[in-house]
Chains A and B, each alone.
Chain A
Amino acid sequence: MPPLAGQRLPDAADTEAALIARAQAGDIGAYERLSGAYADRLFMLLLRLLGDRSEAEDVAQEVMLRAWRAIARFRGQSSYFTWLYRIAVNEANRALEKRARRPPTTPIGADELQLPAPAADDPSRQAENRELRRALGRALAELPPALRTAIVLRDVEGLSTQEAAEIAGVSQAAFKSRLHQARLRVRATIGDQTLVTAGG
């Protein structure tokens, strides 16, 4: 039975390199263990990029299928995580392009963005956090996919510029440019006063 999605690899006998080799030889169980270790994080990425749970579920399945079909060609030039994330970003962008050709439906859900309010905070502070979370969700939703991806990878996911640029498929200089543009747009949308107040 495969591990639960997100379960950590248990021991050195199942190292990532060994799982990759077995998966490349056609072992689905090994592939599920390998990719399952990143499944929760990958799903959260898709939720943040797409803002729609059912669409994220559909795209997550597609990402896993595409990675399975392509794993024989994985050469280890990047980490497996980076490789898988890049497939996820490409699939999310493909889904967003499809969505752009359809009539608008529900915008990205601010509730999909997890902004934990510290328990010790006073109620007015928690309300400010909720309001900021909604504002961030709306501002992210208004960004073009490339800029949204830059913020999600670098600021939300906390990846290094090098890793985030590799996943986005652009040079580091181009990625930084996207990130700065995205931040300026979000700042303009939310407003300095709201941000400074929320920042305390």
Chain B
Amino acid sequence: MPSRSDDHQWSQQHLSHYVEGELGPRARRRLERHALGCVDCGRGIKAMRALVYAFQGLDGLAGVRAPATIFDRVRLAGPGGSPSPPNA
């Protein structure tokens, strides 16, 4: 039987797995049971969810466009894929 301290360390290390839905039923119950009585782990779950949500909020191109020069080296290289000599 794991101690409360074992549960705490284990839960802290598995918060991301929990949020990702990767824990099996037993592991999920273990973490949830521990988090019910542990302020740090309860807040840790909320923090991890907020972190993933915040990163998802970074999605969207928001007007950023690739530079017009992005194919310049390809054009310089030509069909053979190697840059042409300067005066060729």
Contacts and interface: CB of A to CB of B under 8 A. Distances in A.
Given A26-B79, A195-B47, A115 B73 contact: no
Interface string B39-60: 0100110111111111111111
B54 A195 contact: yes
Given A5-B68, A62-B73, A192-B44, A41 B61 contact: yes
Interface string A142-178: 0000000001000111100000000000000000100
Interface residues of A, number: 52
Interface string A91-126: 000000000000000000000011110000000000
Contact of B73 (A44, A61, A179): A61
Interface residues of B, number: 44
Contacts of B72: 61
B59 A156 contact: yes
Nearest to A48: B58
Interface of B: 13, 15-17, 20, 22, 40, 43-44, 46-62, 64-75, 77-82
Interface of A: 2, 5-6, 26-28, 31-32, 35-36, 39-44, 47-48, 57, 60-62, 64-65, 68-69, 113-116, 132-133, 136, 151, 155-158, 176, 179-180, 183-184, 186-187, 190, 192-193, 195-196, 198-199
- 4 shortest interchain CB distances as A-B pairs: A199-B50, A155-B55, A39-B66, A114-B62
24 contacts: A5-B66, A6-B61, A28-B75, A32-B71, A35-B71, A36-B70, A36-B71, A40-B64, A61-B72, A62-B73, A65-B73, A65-B77, A69-B81, A69-B82, A114-B59, A115-B58, A136-B55, A156-B58, A183-B48, A192-B40, A195-B48, A196-B43, A198-B50, A198-B54
